[in-house]
Structure 1
């Protein structure tokens, strides 16, 4: 077993940060447990588990602070430990830096009733910075976390060779993250997934212009809730960030961004996906919006799926119309 990020980044201060295993609420930093406006905080966040989503199992939640990493053991600490984290995870005073927040948010919501809020999604931020710098928009053009770590603009070219080894272990043993006690390799792999998120965050903030920063905040909010839909239409979720007046004055097009959920009756998803994915690819190429296919909901004999569309209002409505036309 190699040292992964540890070997590649031995000269970086993040590599020296202590890693603490948390099984009790009292082991969490007070600044995290008791968030407040006077002491705004940014943390790196990631989750590990088994089929991490609505019906999977969240096993570990990693939190990266400026001076330490905390591995919150949801297996040992249970829901009581996760509830001790709820205030911070929902707080507008704590920025959660995450790479691709959708499934982590889904697991937190359905397994622990936590509405992840005030997220800085580094995958979304990377795409917005690229567009801001003149790159052409391409559907599903999302950078992987491994590639982001290797990008010297954001993380001084850190390599993460161990990630492939962990993925191989997960394929052989899907219950990998449930095993206790955690091995040194498990602790290191979990910590490495958040170790450099705050460095990446600092470097990205410097590159985002005001409008892109707003787009990031609202898209991160929409991505957090896109797989968490219920019949209330997200009524109990925090309000979406309002566009600053200075940004609105500088834009001629309608900047409103929305999330639409298109329910797909049982047996109809094939019409949307098409042969070898041709139909869904064509839909994505015709609409400048992010389109995701979610999991099933409802009892097995009546289970339906859903397609989630996020983006500018006009593009979302166009995608909605096409999608609904496929399933009627």
Structure 2
């Protein structure tokens, strides 16, 4: 698996977004990480974008907020020709709108798709974590290094810490890798 690309400048963001937009497969996975994402006052600090071929870009919008507008991340999030795959998109989309005024266009939520599949099979719909849905569809779930798992549990502001460590980048990448093509293909039937 290729190492995630850490994008922390406006110029690097422009290159990364262009690279993503010219790919053959117009489907990307998105995960927003930060402090209390989805809650009142929540802040996004990192945006992970996973591509169909396994490449992942992690945009540091805390270090350089200009990445969203001048860096082109907004263009990707609002591109109607690109499908954005989320797992539980509501917190991410709500915080993107409140923090940056960004309305995500053309998205797919694996959690909602799984709930629809359950209902069609006569089962009650229920929310599943990314790990649970990965297990349901026999996809590899994100592995969390024990020290980072402890840190995430103890400190709700872990994603606001700088510098961003390799373990943090790996976890940010792992939060989008199972979404495309794996979970998207399995739930989009």
Shared fold, TM over 0.5? yes
* SS of aligned partner of 2:104: coil
2:170 to 180, 188, 199: 188
Do structure 1's residue 175 and structure 2's residue 157 form an aligned pair? yes
- For 2:86, the equivalent position in structure 1 comes to 98
The normalised TM-score by structure 2 is 0.85
Following TM superposition, by how much is the alpha carbon of 1:174 offset from its aligned partner in structure 2, in angstroms? 2.0
Give the 5 Å matches for 1:1-328: 16-27=1-12, 28-32=16-20, 41-53=26-38, 54-65=40-51, 66-78=53-65, 80-83=66-69, 84-132=72-120, 134-138=121-125, 141-151=126-136, 153=137, 155=139, 158-160=140-142, 162=144, 166=148, 168-198=150-180, 199-205=182-188, 208=189
Following TM superposition, by how much is the alpha carbon of 1:40 offset from its aligned partner in structure 2, in angstroms? 6.1
What is the CA–CA distance in structure 2 between the aligned matches of 1:68 and 1:176, rounded to whole Å? 24
What is the CA–CA distance in structure 1 between the aligned matches of 2:129 and 2:31, rounded to whole Å? 14
Q: How many residues align?
A: 181
Segments of structure 1 that go 5 or more residues without pairing to the other structure are: 1-15, 209-328
| Aligned 8 A contact 1:94 1:118 in 2 | yes
Q: Deviations for 1:150-186, whole angstroms, at most 9, x for unmatched residues?
A: 22x352xx24452886454233222211111111111
* SS of aligned partner of 2:63: helix
What is the CA–CA distance in structure 2 between the aligned matches of 1:92 and 1:106, rounded to whole Å? 18
Following TM superposition, by how much is the alpha carbon of 1:144 offset from its aligned partner in structure 2, in angstroms? 1.3
| Aligned 8 A contact 1:62 1:71 in 2 | yes
Q: Which has the larger radius of gyration?
A: 1
More relative contact order in 1 or in 2 (CA 8 Å, sep 6+)?
2
Following TM superposition, by how much is the alpha carbon of 1:119 offset from its aligned partner in structure 2, in angstroms? 0.9
| Aligned 8 A contact 1:33 1:87 in 2 | no
RMSD: 2.3
* SS of aligned partner of 1:75: coil
List 4+ stretches of structure 1 deviating above 6 A: none
Segments of structure 2 that go 5 or more residues without pairing to the other structure are: none
* Distance change in 2, residues 1:70/1:159 (3 Å): closer
The normalised TM-score by structure 1 is 0.51
What is the CA–CA distance in structure 1 between the aligned matches of 2:147 and 2:87, rounded to whole Å? 20
What is the CA–CA distance in structure 2 between the aligned matches of 1:164 and 1:116, rounded to whole Å? 33
